[in-house]
């Protein structure tokens, strides 16, 4: 044995390591493959050895060879061996190899389950990490099912390094094992607020990705994400969240409304282009989702467009590209805003970078107008000539067609020009889009009657030089245009100047080399042409000429009869027989033209592309019903042949069905026609809804003939459409002059004194550009009773459909994740071996060591229970959140200017934004809005709040300030849509027989530099029968606190109340106070004076009151992590003070809740009956508390950056605690 080991290590000396292998390969450039196969043989030998180091080395080399394209899956078993090595060094090599080559088809992968589980629970975090990383690359449904529970446990590991990996890999687990989503989700959600930013970021990443795929299930998380968005400083997290909101807003427009402000602020404030860009993108998404419902967000659009312009103008091509990309999104809904930047877009068309040009092309679609279409297309055509790659050229081609044909050819004023553009495009080599050009030619020729003559002349020219179009094999795609040309010349043959010449062109032998479907159209249209020529010749009394044509047909048609294409052959032989018959008649001098033409009498109208789809299923017709009941299967033994027979028969019967019903159908059709004829509301499809063109002024003045004369298009190979640019300009010039002249005359007649204005300016506007031809675009026909919608179904193969899972429904017992029972999980030593909350029934036996640990465990568990409770009605919660302004949902973070701006902006918007501040009375606080608190630090209390909130919701009307006899908060008249926040903090200020004053401090803003501002809301209720008017509020300012008065008034003046009060009516007024220092509580005396008027006359009355500004009201609940808290305490620049209150009966839990609630603190950490708490003032003072509960007493030690503030706060707290 020892000898073997020695031998092994000697062998090692001569093994190649990875570096040797690389070096060797580099030195064998000539015979690399041979060298490598030699190396693989060596590796195979190494893998056979027992020494794990040798094996690991071999596997490492294999991983390198895999990169070079060698399949290494044959070594899968050895890889697993290396994965299970005890040393991290080897394990890591094994997992790397596995992650590169294992996949769902690797059969030995099932052998890894136990090894991975062992590694996941390894005491070394790096063993666990390596296993997680590897697993993330090759997790299979089986592995996901078997390991889901282990991974979920790791999400609460003590090491953030493991937590973040575990959180991230859960996404993979969900995909492979969707059943795990619901049980794991509560913990995943919890990780959104993990103290470690990496873990938080991972959780955001996973949830955003889940939500992106199935947004509706995650709407209820919107408030949480909103909070993260307004508090996070990690740009990665912000970007993910903002992207997610972009996906959520289409589902919930109210959310968009809420988002606009904070996003706009971010756009203004951020310096990171990536973040700016994503904000702009989401604002666009919001605006799109709001575009119907919201009046006007032009400011936001302007901001976006303006920022995008900056991006596009940047020299960095990446920003340019993204700017254009985002611009195209705005274009869809707000084309006007984008059109203003046409110069920029056109400029980008000349960019050297193809991706930029492509993006600019996308934008062009919205940039064109009647005025500039010709010019833009000219530019594009010149690009077509210059373009090198076919991809870009094809893109140009489709774009030209797109922009010209958009909105029913809205921007085309001259269809001759358009036809020549299309003809020019046929000269493109190697394009794939011949059919597009063909479709356009057909569409225009059919729908624009006025252009047919011109189109036919162009098409016949095209047919004439068909050999050019269809010559080289490369040009295959473009020969599609011949299809259109042949059809147009045939169908509208009356416009042909030289029909015989065209006929000959269409019968050339070369035609037979065209694709079958084109030949078929040729054959069919040759007859139409033939019919036209016959008619012409007979009318001209030239029977010989007519016979000559017939002879030509008889001679040439056989070439088609021989075609291998069935369609061509069939048509050709039919027609040949017909022509031969005609020949016989002609020989007898019988006139035939009339009858032959009758074959093609009548006009073909365009049918809308979706017409077929939209034919409604007639009433009473069940397409799924059996026509003949299938005989039951049970009887026969030889099933297989019979089944086939059945199927065929069914199909057969189905096809025949319409025939059987033919008579009935005809009858019904007749009846329907009758009904329609009698129905005055039935609108028959009539041509030409494009009256607009005809109504335009000046159309009748356009000399159409003139232009026809100057058409130079007969010369093939010349860029004809260019001529139109000049022609068009001249035409418009003439038009303008004409109009000016007309106007002048008019004006001269009417009012000679008035100066001419805007003459030429006016004619520049888009509407003024009159079309060259009188255009009637025939609308496409739809079947009668067409159904309006045709939505496409979702892709049933979408893998994310499996994750479309309702996450708000409470967990059922059956949904527990499978736990491996045989492993001795209860002897866990390390903290990460926590049980999964949802599966745990009983707490473990307490061990002294674990006591602290269990405390930690307990909290999340309770939180989860709470969450389950909450999740019973997520919809309501969301509604509640959405119905309030950002203010209540934003965690107050005054140190961020952005957040402040949000608050300010929200108020400017005039929405009801109320944040209650406790006044000196404490009792009324029980029914306050719990939303404003950060939830995660106050686990137990949270629960209580939940109850309170649900109570609130049930009876919102009953909310009264607890100081009894006080008035109900009164709804503001301006608020019809948004319900009042269901809680109130109003307290009685003063009252007399006339009036009652109820007040609330509802908004506080402050900074160190500036004076702080407090807005106080006062509800005035008229309790008398008198009419109260001329109300005025005057306050005796203190040095520190001043009432903000209208400009120009002195300190002694009062502030008028902006309304009057009829008897029994109440209304709310707001007053702003500026406060210099917040370290002491303030009391202000004031008087409300008013005139009370009743039947007996009017009297001057007044009511004195006292406004109280507590120090607590300047605190803002701010979450704080324990490490930051510890650092703060260590810093030593805080002054300290303490209080102690005796005779406390309340539980510690509720006590903390009260402090949090009334004094705006958050719990940092809680151990047994001791808790550290934190809050922050609007001016940035840190306030730290250590609260300890004794037998019947509570002591509070406070540390604060301002001693006076701390003193005042503790005094106020004492008052609160004394009532507990």
Partner 1 sequence: WPAKMIQAILVFNNHGKPRLVRFYQRFPEEIQQQIVRETFHLVLKQDDNICNFLEGGSLIGGSDYKLIYRHYATLYFVFCVDSSESELGILDLIQVFVETLDKCFENVCELDLIFHMDKVHYILQEVVMGGMVLETNMNEIVAQIEAQNRLEKSEGGLSAAPARAVSAVKNINLPEIPRNINIGDLNIKVPNLSQFV
Q: Which of residues 192-231 bind partner 1 (CB under 8 A)?
A: 197-198, 201-202, 205-206, 208-209, 212
Of the pair 67, 761, the CB lying nearest partner 1 is at 67
Q: Which of 165, 393, 732, 1199 binds partner 1 (CB under 8 A)?
A: 165
136 sits near partner 1 (criterion: CB under 8 A): yes
What is the token pair recorded at 575?
């027609």
Q: Binding of partner 1 at residue 22 (CB under 8 A)?
A: yes
Pairwise CA distance, residues 41 & 35, whole Å: 10
910: left (phi over 0), alpha (psi -120 to 50) or beta: left
Site membership for partner 1, residue 15 (CB under 8 A): yes
Residue nearer to partner 1 on the CB measure, 66 or 1150: 66
Q: Determine which residue in the list 36, 40, 57, 860 makes contact with partner 1, applying CB under 8 A.
A: 57
* Residues 1083, 920: Cα–Cα separation, whole Å: 11
Stretch that binds partner 1, among 350-358, 742-750, 821-829, 862-870 (CB under 8 A): 350-358
Residues 6 or more apart whose Cβ sits within 8 Å of residue 601: none
Which string of x and - marks every residue 398-417 that binds partner 1 (by CB under 8 A)? --------------------
Crossing angle (nearest 10°) for helices 253-269 and 298-313: 40
Nearer to partner 1, 137 or 439 (CB): 137
Burial of 1090 (0-12, 13-18, 19+ CB in 10 A): buried
Residue 687 in tokens: 């041509």
- Kindly state the smallest distance separating residue 342's Cβ from partner 1, in Å: 21
Pick the closer one to partner 1 by CB: 122 or 536: 122
Give the nearest distance from C-beta 1166 to partner 1 in angstroms.
24
Minimum gap (Å) between residue 610 Cβ and partner 1: 24
Contact characters 790-809, partner 1, x per CB under 8 A: ---------x----------
CB 177 within 8 A of CB 144: yes
Closer to partner 1 at the Cβ: 161 or 365?
161
End-to-end CA distance of the chain: give it in Å, rounded: 77
Greatest C-alpha distance within the chain = 130
Cβ proximity to partner 1, 82 vs 423, nearer residue: 82
Cα dihedral 285/289/295/297 (nearest 10): 0
- Closest by CA to 728, choosing from 417, 378, 367, is 417
Show contacts with partner 1 in window 926-985 (CB under 8 A): none
CB of residue 1199 to partner 1, shortest distance in Å:
22
Letters for 264-283 (x = contact with partner 1 by CB under 8 A, - = none) are -------xxxx--xx-----
Among 31, 41, 104, 647, binds partner 1 (CB under 8 A): 104
What are the residue ranges of helices labelled H in 836-935?
Answer: 851-870, 874-883, 886-889, 897-908
Specify whether the CB–CB gap between 83 and 91 falls below 8 A: yes
Nearer to partner 1, 247 or 825 (CB): 247
Name the one range near partner 1 by CB under 8 A: 164-172, 470-478, 886-894, 1211-1219: 164-172
> Of 991-1030, which residues contact partner 1 (CB under 8 A)?
none
Q: How far is the CB of 333 from partner 1 (least distance, A)?
A: 19
Q: Using CB under 8 A, pick the residue from 42, 115, 236, 1203 that binds partner 1.
A: 236
CA-only gyration radius of the chain, Å: 42
Nearer to partner 1, 796 or 1097 (CB): 796
Query: Which residue, 92 or 537, has its beta carbon nearer to partner 1?
Result: 92
893 forms part of the interface with partner 1 (CB under 8 A): no
Q: In angstroms, what is the minimal distance from the CB of 51 to partner 1?
A: 11
Nearer to partner 1, 395 or 1202 (CB): 395
Query: How many helices (H) and strands (E) would you count in the chain?
Result: 49, 15
- If binding is defined by CB under 8 A, does position 243 make contact with partner 1? yes
* For the chain, the helix, strand and coil percentages under 3-state DSSP, each to the nearest 5: 60, 10, 30
> Cα–Cα distance between 538 and 567 in angstroms, integer?
31
Q: Spell out, one character per residue from 72 to 101, where the chain touches partner 1: x when CB under 8 A holds, - when not.
A: ---------------xxxx-xx--x---x-
Separation between Cα atoms, residue 374 and residue 769, nearest integer Å: 12
Alpha helices by DSSP H, listed for 413-451, are 415-425, 434-447
Place of tokens 């609260």: 1187
- 110 binding partner 1? (CB under 8 A): no
Q: What string of H, E and C letters represents the secondary structure of 473-531?
A: HHHHHHHHHHHHHHHHHHHCHHHCCCHHHHHHHHCCHHHHHCCHHHHHHHHHHHHHHHH
Strand duo 1097-1109 + 1170-1177: pairing: unpaired
| 1122 interacts with partner 1 by CB under 8 A | no
Stretch that binds partner 1, among 125-133, 250-258, 553-561, 1101-1109 (CB under 8 A): 125-133
The answer to the question of residue 171 lying near partner 1 (CB under 8 A) is yes
Sign for the pseudo-dihedral over CA of 977, 978, 982, 988: negative
Stretch that binds partner 1, among 64-72, 636-644, 675-683, 1073-1081 (CB under 8 A): 64-72
Sheet holding 1041-1043, edge to edge: 987-991, 995-1005, 1012-1022, 1066-1075, 1041-1043
CB of 919 to partner 1, least distance (A): 35
For residues 1113 and 1004, the answer to whether their CB atoms sit within 8 Å is: yes
Among residues 204, 208, 206, 211, the alpha carbon closest in space to that of 237 is found at 204
Range 838-877, binding partner 1 (CB under 8 A): none
189, 864 Cβ separation under 8 angstroms: no
Judged by CB under 8 A, the number of residues near partner 1 is 86
Residues in the chain: 1220
Distance CA(654)–CA(953), nearest Å, equals 59
Considering only 62, 83, 175, 330, the residue that binds partner 1 (CB under 8 A) is 175
Min CB(211)–partner 1 separation in Å: 10
Specify which residues 1189 forms β-bridges with: 1194
Give the shortest CB-20-to-partner 1 separation in angstroms: 6
Taking each helix axis as running N to C, give the angle between helix 516-539 and helix 566-587, from 0 to 180 degrees, rounded to the nearest 10: 20
Site for partner 1 in 1128-1147 (CB under 8 A): none
Least spacing, CB of residue 1161 vs partner 1, in Å: 22
Residue 160 to residue 194: CA distance in whole angstroms: 9
Structural element, H or E, at residue 1175:
strand 1170-1177
Closest contact distance (angstroms) between CB of 437 and partner 1 is 24
Residue 626 touching partner 1 (CB under 8 A):
no
Q: Which range of residues in 171-179, 564-572, 589-597, 1183-1191 is near partner 1 by CB under 8 A?
A: 171-179
Shortest gap between Cβ of 349 and partner 1 (angstroms)? 15
Which of these segments, 36-44, 170-178, 829-837, 1148-1156, binds partner 1 (CB under 8 A)?
A: 170-178
Closest contact distance (angstroms) between CB of 26 and partner 1 is: 7
Q: Is residue 15 within 8 Å of 53, Cβ to Cβ? A: no
Among 70, 1027, 1059, 1125, indicate the residue that binds partner 1 (CB under 8 A): 70
Q: Out of 339, 355, 1013, 1169, point to the residue binding partner 1 (CB under 8 A).
A: 355
CA angle at 332 for the pair 331 and 337, rounded to the nearest 5°: 35
Site string for partner 1, 492-521 (x = CB under 8 A): ------------------------------
Give the x/- contact pattern for partner 1 in 283-322, rule: CB under 8 A.
-------------------------------x-xxxxxxx
Query: Which of residues 1, 26, 715, 749 is near partner 1 by CB under 8 A?
Result: 26
| Integer Cα distance of 125 and 127 in angstroms | 6
What are the structure tokens assigned to 1220, written together?
């507990």
């Amino acid at each position: 044995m020892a000898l073997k080991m020695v031998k092994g290590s000697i062998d090692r000396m001569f093994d190649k390591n990875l570096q040797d292998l690389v070096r060797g390969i580099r030195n064998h450039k000539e015979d690399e493959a041979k060298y490598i196969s030699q190396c693989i043989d060596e590796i195979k030998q190494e893998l056979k050895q027992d020494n794990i180091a040798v094996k690991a080395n071999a596997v490492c080399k294999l991983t390198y060879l895999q990169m070079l394209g060698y399949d290494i899956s044959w070594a899968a078993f050895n890889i697993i061996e290396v994965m299970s090595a005890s040393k991290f060094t080897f394990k890591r090599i094994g997992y790397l190899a596995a992650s590169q080559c294992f996949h769902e088809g690797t059969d030995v992968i099932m052998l890894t389950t136990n090894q991975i589980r062992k590694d996941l629970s390894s005491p070394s975090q790096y063993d666990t990490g390596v296993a997680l990383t590897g697993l993330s690359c090759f997790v299979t449904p089986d592995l996901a099912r078997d390991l889901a529970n282990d991974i979920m446990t790791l999400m609460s590991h003590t090491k953030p390094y493991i937590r973040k990996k575990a959180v991230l890999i859960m996404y993979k687990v969900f995909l492979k094992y969707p059943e795990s989503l619901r049980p794991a989700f509560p913990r995943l959600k919890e990780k959104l607020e993990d103290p470690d930013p990496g873990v938080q970021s991972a959780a955001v990443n996973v949830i955003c990705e889940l939500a992106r795929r199935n947004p509706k299930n995650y709407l209820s998380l919107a408030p949480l994400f909103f909070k993260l968005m307004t508090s996070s400083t990690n740009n990665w997290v912000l970007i993910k969240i903002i992207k997610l909101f972009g996906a959520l807003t289409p589902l919930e427009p109210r959310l968009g409304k809420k988002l606009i402000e904070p996003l706009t602020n971010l756009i203004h404030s951020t310096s990171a282009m990536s973040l700016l860009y994503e904000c702009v993108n989401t604002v666009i998404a919001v605006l799109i989702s709001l575009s119907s419902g919201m009046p006007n967000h032009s400011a936001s659009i302007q901001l976006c467009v303006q920022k995008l312009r900056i991006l596009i103008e940047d020299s960095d091509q990446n920003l340019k590209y993204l700017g254009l990309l985002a611009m195209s999104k705005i274009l869809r809904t707000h084309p006007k805003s984008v059109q203003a930047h046409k110069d920029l877009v056109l400029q980008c068309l000349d960019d050297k970078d193809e991706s930029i040009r492509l993006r600019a092309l996308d934008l062009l679609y919205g940039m064109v107008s009647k005025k500039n279409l010709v010019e833009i297309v000219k530019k594009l055509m010149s690009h077509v000539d210059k373009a090198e790659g076919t991809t870009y050229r094809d893109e140009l081609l489709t774009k030209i067609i797109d922009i010209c044909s958009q909105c029913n050819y809205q921007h085309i004023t001259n269809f001759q020009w358009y036809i020549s553009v299309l003809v020019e495009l046929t000269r493109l080599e190697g394009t794939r889009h011949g059919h597009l050009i063909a479709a356009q030619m057909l569409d225009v020729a059919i729908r624009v009657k006025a252009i047919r003559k011109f189109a036919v002349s162009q098409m016949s020219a095209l047919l004439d030089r068909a050999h050019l179009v269809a010559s080289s094999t490369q040009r295959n795609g473009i020969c599609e245009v011949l299809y259109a040309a042949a059809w147009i010349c045939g169908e509208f043959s009356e416009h042909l100047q030289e029909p015989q010449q065209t006929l000959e062109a269409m019968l050339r032998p070369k035609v037979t080399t065209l694709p079958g479907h084109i030949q078929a159209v040729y054959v069919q249209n040759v007859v139409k042409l033939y019919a036209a020529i016959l008619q012409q010749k007979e009318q001209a009394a030239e029977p010989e000429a007519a016979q000559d044509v017939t002879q030509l047909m008889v001679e040439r048609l056989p070439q088609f009869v021989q075609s291998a294409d069935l369609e061509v052959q069939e048509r050709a032989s039919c027609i040949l027989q017909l022509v031969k018959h005609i020949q016989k008649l002609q020989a007898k001098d019988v006139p035939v033209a009339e009858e032959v033409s009758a074959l093609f009498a009548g006009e073909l109208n365009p049918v809308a592309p979706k017409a077929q789809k939209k034919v409604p299923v007639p009433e009473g017709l069940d397409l799924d019903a059996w026509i003949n009941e299938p005989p039951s299967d049970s009887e026969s033994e030889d099933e297989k042949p019979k089944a086939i027979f059945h199927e065929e028969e069914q199909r057969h019967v189905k096809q025949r069905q319409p025939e059987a019903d033919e008579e009935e159908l005809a009858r019904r059709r007749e009846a329907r026609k009758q009904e329609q004829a009698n129905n005055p509301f039935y609108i028959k499809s009539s041509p030409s809804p494009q009256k607009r063109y005809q109504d335009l002024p000046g159309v009748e003045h356009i000399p159409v003939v003139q232009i026809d004369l100057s058409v130079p298009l007969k010369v093939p190979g010349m860029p004809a459409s260019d001529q139109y640019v000049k022609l068009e300009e001249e035409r418009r010039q003439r038009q303008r002059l004409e109009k000016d002249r007309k106007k002048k005359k008019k004006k001269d007649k009417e009012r000679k004194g008035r100066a001419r204005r805007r003459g030429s300016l006016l004619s520049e506007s888009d509407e003024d550009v009159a079309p060259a031809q009188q255009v009637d675009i025939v609308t496409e026909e739809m079947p009668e009773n067409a159904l309006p919608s045709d939505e496409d179904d979702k892709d049933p193969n979408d893998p994310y459909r499996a994750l479309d899972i309702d996450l708000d429904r409470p967990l059922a017992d059956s949904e527990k994740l499978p736990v491996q029972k045989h492993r001795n999980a209860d002897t866990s030593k390390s903290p990460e071996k926590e049980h999964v909350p949802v599966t745990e029934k009983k707490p473990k036996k307490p061990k002294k060591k674990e006591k602290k640990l269990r405390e930690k465990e307990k909290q999340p568990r309770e939180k989860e229970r709470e969450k389950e409770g909450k999740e019973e009605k997520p919809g309501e919660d969301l509604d509640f959140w959405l119905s309030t302004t950002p203010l209540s949902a934003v965690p107050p973070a005054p140190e961020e200017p952005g957040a402040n701006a949000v608050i300010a902006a929200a108020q400017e918007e005039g929405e009801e934004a109320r944040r209650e501040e406790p006044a000196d009375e404490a009792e009324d606080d029980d029914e306050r809005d719990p939303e404003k608190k950060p939830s995660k630090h106050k686990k137990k209390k949270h629960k209580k709040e939940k109850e309170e909130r649900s109570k609130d919701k049930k009876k919102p009307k009953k909310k009264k300030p607890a100081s009894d006899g006080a008035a109900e908060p009164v709804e503001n008249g301006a608020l019809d849509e948004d319900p009042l926040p269901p809680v109130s903090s109003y307290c009685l200020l003063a009252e007399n027989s006339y009036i009652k004053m109820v007040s609330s401090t509802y908004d506080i803003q402050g900074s160190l530099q500036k004076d702080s501002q407090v807005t106080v809301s006062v509800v005035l209720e008229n309790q008398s029968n008198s009419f109260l008017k001329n109300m005025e509020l005057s306050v005796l300012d203190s040095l520190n606190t001043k009432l903000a008065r209208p400009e120009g008034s002195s300190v002694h003046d009062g502030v008028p109340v902006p309304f009057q009060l009829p008897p029994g009516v109440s209304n709310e007024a707001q007053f702003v106070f500026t406060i210099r220092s917040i370290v002491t509580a303030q009391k202000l005396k004031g008087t409300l004076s008013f005139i009370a008027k009743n039947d007996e006359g009017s009297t001057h009355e007044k009511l004195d009151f006292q406004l109280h500004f507590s120090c607590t009201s300047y605190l803002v609940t701010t979450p704080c992590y324990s490490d930051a808290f510890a650092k703060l305490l260590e810093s030593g620049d805080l002054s300290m003070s303490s209080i102690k209150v005796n005779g406390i009966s309340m539980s510690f839990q509720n006590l903390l809740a009260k402090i949090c609630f009334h004094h705006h603190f958050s719990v940092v950490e809680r151990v047994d009956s001791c808790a550290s708490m934190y809050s922050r003032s609007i001016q940035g003072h840190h306030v730290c508390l250590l609260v300890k509960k004794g037998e019947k007493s509570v002591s509070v030690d406070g540390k604060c950056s301002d001693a006076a503030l701390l003193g005042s706060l503790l005094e106020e707290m004492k008052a609160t605690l004394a009532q507990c």
